Amino acid sequence: MHLKLLRQSLSTEPSQGGCESGSCGASGDRLSHLPDAIRDKVHNHPCYSEEAHHHYARMHVAVAPACNIQCHYCNRKYDCSNESRPGVVSELLSPEQAAKKVMAVAAKIPQMSVLGIAGPGDPLANPERTFETFRLLSDKAPDIKLCVSTNGLALPGLVDELCAHNISHVTITINCIDPEIGAKIYPWIFWKNRRIKGVKGAQILIEQQQKGLEMLVERGVLVKVNSVLIPGVNDEHLEQVSKVVKAKGAFLHNVMPLIAEAEHGTFYGVMGQRSPTNEELQALQDACAGDMQMMRHCRQCRADAVGMLGEDRGSEFTLDKVQTMEIDYEKAMEERKQAHAAIEANRKAQQAQTGETFVSPAQIKRPNKRSGITETPPVLMAVATAGNGLINQHFGHASEFLIYEATATAVRFIGHRKVDRYCSGGDSCGDAESALQKSIRALEGCRAVLCSKIGYEPWSVLEEAGILPNGEHAMEPIEGAVAAVYREMAEDGQLNRPESLAQMTA
Ligand code: CLF
Ligand code: SF4
């Protein structure tokens, strides 16, 4: 019984029944339900495995400037917002410059495991530049996984070439399967030397995306589908999209919130189209999760992002800096191999530790039914982490918090929330008060925040706001710590509240 509950707590998604097959070992390896070939592909890919993103880094190279469609959430002055966060223009690289940059990053960041091409336009609308970059890298950095993200229009015609370059992971952005909805997202596509507008253009795009998905799955490439959630446009449609792409063999579905700021000059931004709230995003992800594995840890990276998801070390690797770097790639590859072996040993130890520390909250006293309380409610907790799957960051140093939901039987990751750092030390504390208030707003709905340390001042303010600061689980694995805090709250009677209050946390 205990092991079963532990396994549920390690799952990133509600149980699909896979654990009952006997394939879940006591090791707590949460990818163990996957066939070996797929497990090999995802275990160190920070986007395809939620747990891997605590340990491994990715980078993008911006080699693809052109695009063959127009999305209403995109302004070409900025990166492709299918896979990127608009806001800063990436430094465009030639394939040779890109290859050199990848080798420099891979030599300096031992966690690096994946190279993705995701813009700033559409990689497959720039096939020569994209494939030349992949060709150079397969030669020079054969241990790096190759990944690409596309709007899908040119995909079917390039599937063979993608496979010839050993591209193991492909993301297709599919926002709809209904051309009427598509016409509200894509004003035009460029197809066979003509610009095709409205429903007709959207119809062609959708057909190409679906065909490309089927072809990739047939060839054993892992496909992730990204969808931009646009309230009032495709919000009621994406559950159906999820069902269809799952049926066609997509491995993962990543529903991302629309980013539409007027200052980005996009059609949606200028028209005042709103972005979804955290609650709307989570509700849709939960609705789709019944049908397939959902990605919830996407950071909507830039087309030249470098580092762990959520951090951007691009400024350490600008073109001028990279040009002057001396790289002994053979040596770097060997060092990375050792670093990855250490990461894997650490992951195993953490999973074992989680197993030892995790005691099911279901084993604690049940609430008294006469009080009108029927069940300990789910609780949201925020976690400050600097990586490695541990509670290892000072509250004031966090620029984002991971959000977990604990229930009586499971702990699951549900997303992240960005904040302004409350404290950067030294003389920069002038804005601390407003930054703290913003953090508190960002943590709305959370009952606790787990961090390695926290100062007295923010402690009091958080407590007053009903968010319990907790520094008692510093350096512990996240899921085990969240489960332990839930148990402590339940034992203290903090969860024994009338149903009306309990609903506030869900
Ligand atoms: Fe890059 Fe995308 Fe490959 Fe990852 S990102 S091409 S699959 S290596 Fe990842 Fe960034 Fe989200 Fe993309 S967090 S935006 S899903
Ligand atoms: Fe912009 Fe990307 Fe859409 Fe092209 S596919 S219009 S680059 S968001």
Q: Quick one: pLDDT at residue 72?
A: 94
Ligand 2 proximity of 215 Cβ (cutoff 6 Å): no
Which residue minimizes the CA distance to atom 5 of ligand 2? 151
Measured over all CA atoms, what is the biggest interatomic distance in the chain, rounded to whole angstroms? 73
pLDDT digits (tens, 9 = 90+) for 92-108: 899 999 999 999 999 99
Confidence of residue 81 (pLDDT cuts 50, 70, 90): low
Token couple for 61: 């190279």
Confidence of residue 424 (pLDDT cuts 50, 70, 90): low
Which of the two residues, 53 and 86, has the higher pLDDT score? 53
From the CA of 82, which ligand is nearest?
2
Tell me how far apart the alpha carbons of residues 373 and 139 are, in angstroms, rounded to a whole number: 63
Q: How far is the CA of 144 from the centre of ligand 1 (A)?
A: 15
Position 491 pLDDT exceeds 90 = no
Q: How far is the CA of 227 from the centre of ligand 1 (A)?
A: 13
Q: How far is the CA of 396 from the centre of ligand 1 (A)?
A: 27
Position 84 pLDDT exceeds 80 = no
Which residue minimizes the CA distance to atom 4 of ligand 2? 67
Mutate to test the pocket of ligand 1, among 45, 111, 149, 294 (most ligand atoms within 8 A of CB): 149
- The predicted model gives 438-464 an average pLDDT of 89
Position 337 pLDDT exceeds 80 = yes
Confidence of residue 83 (pLDDT cuts 50, 70, 90): low
Q: Quick one: pLDDT at residue 291?
A: 62
Ligand 1 proximity of 408 Cβ (cutoff 6 Å): no
Ligand 1 proximity of 170 Cβ (cutoff 6 Å): no
pLDDT digits (tens, 9 = 90+) for 144-180: 999 999 999 999 999 999 999 999 999 999 999 999 9
First to last CA, the chain: 26
Confidence of residue 212 (pLDDT cuts 50, 70, 90): very high
From the CA of 310, which ligand is nearest?
1
Q: Quick one: pLDDT at residue 418?
A: 85
The number of beta carbons lying within 10 Å of the beta carbon of residue 26 is 11
φ, ψ dihedrals at 414, nearest 5°: -125, -5
Q: Quick one: pLDDT at residue 1?
A: 29
The number of beta carbons lying within 10 Å of the beta carbon of residue 362 is 16
The number of beta carbons lying within 10 Å of the beta carbon of residue 227 is 23
- The predicted model gives 458-469 an average pLDDT of 90
Mutate to test the pocket of ligand 2, among 70, 117, 126, 176 (most ligand atoms within 8 A of CB): 70
Ligand 1 proximity of 301 Cβ (cutoff 6 Å): yes
Which of the two residues, 425 and 182, has the higher pLDDT score? 182
Q: How far is the CA of 417 from the centre of ligand 2 (A)?
A: 25
Position 428 pLDDT exceeds 70 = no
Ligand 1 proximity of 299 Cβ (cutoff 6 Å): yes
pLDDT digits (tens, 9 = 90+) for 61-80: 999 999 999 999 988 666 55
From the CA of 259, which ligand is nearest?
2
Q: Quick one: pLDDT at residue 174?
A: 98
418 contacts 442 by C-beta, under 8 angstroms? yes
pLDDT digits (tens, 9 = 90+) for 190-202: 999 999 999 999 9
Position 30 pLDDT exceeds 80 = no
Q: Quick one: pLDDT at residue 188?
A: 97
Which residue minimizes the CA distance to atom 7 of ligand 1? 47
Q: Virtual CA dihedral for 413, 418, 419, 420, nearest 10 degrees?
A: 140
pLDDT digits (tens, 9 = 90+) for 392-421: 999 988 989 999 999 888 888 888 888 876
- The predicted model gives 415-429 an average pLDDT of 66
Position 88 pLDDT exceeds 90 = no
From the CA of 53, which ligand is nearest?
1
Ligand 2 proximity of 93 Cβ (cutoff 6 Å): no
Tell me how far apart the alpha carbons of residues 8 and 15 are, in angstroms, rounded to a whole number: 7
Ligand 2 proximity of 132 Cβ (cutoff 6 Å): no
Confidence of residue 29 (pLDDT cuts 50, 70, 90): low
Ligand 2 proximity of 151 Cβ (cutoff 6 Å): yes
Q: Quick one: pLDDT at residue 357?
A: 42
Least confident of 19-28, 203-212, 215-224: 19-28
Q: Which atom of ligand 1 is nearest to the CA of 256?
A: 11
Which residue minimizes the CA distance to atom 11 of ligand 1? 298
Which residue minimizes the CA distance to atom 6 of ligand 1? 116
Mutate to test the pocket of ligand 1, among 48, 60, 63, 83 (most ligand atoms within 8 A of CB): 83
Ligand 1 proximity of 222 Cβ (cutoff 6 Å): no
Q: Quick one: pLDDT at residue 244?
A: 96
Cis status of the peptide bond prior to 179, with omega within 30 of 0: no
pLDDT digits (tens, 9 = 90+) for 344-394: 998 888 777 765 444 444 444 444 555 444 567 889 999 999 988 999 999
- The predicted model gives 436-462 an average pLDDT of 89
Q: Quick one: pLDDT at residue 57?
A: 94
Ligand 1 proximity of 114 Cβ (cutoff 6 Å): yes
Tell me how far apart the alpha carbons of residues 465 and 302 are, in angstroms, rounded to a whole number: 34
pLDDT digits (tens, 9 = 90+) for 310-325: 888 888 998 889 888 8
- The predicted model gives 326-350 an average pLDDT of 89
Q: How far is the CA of 253 from the centre of ligand 1 (A)?
A: 12
Q: How far is the CA of 229 from the centre of ligand 2 (A)?
A: 15
Q: Quick one: pLDDT at residue 410?
A: 85
SS3 readout for 316-381: HHCHHHHHCCCCCHHHHHHHHHHHHHHHHHHHHHHHHHHHHHCCCHHHCCCCCHHHCCCCCCCEEE
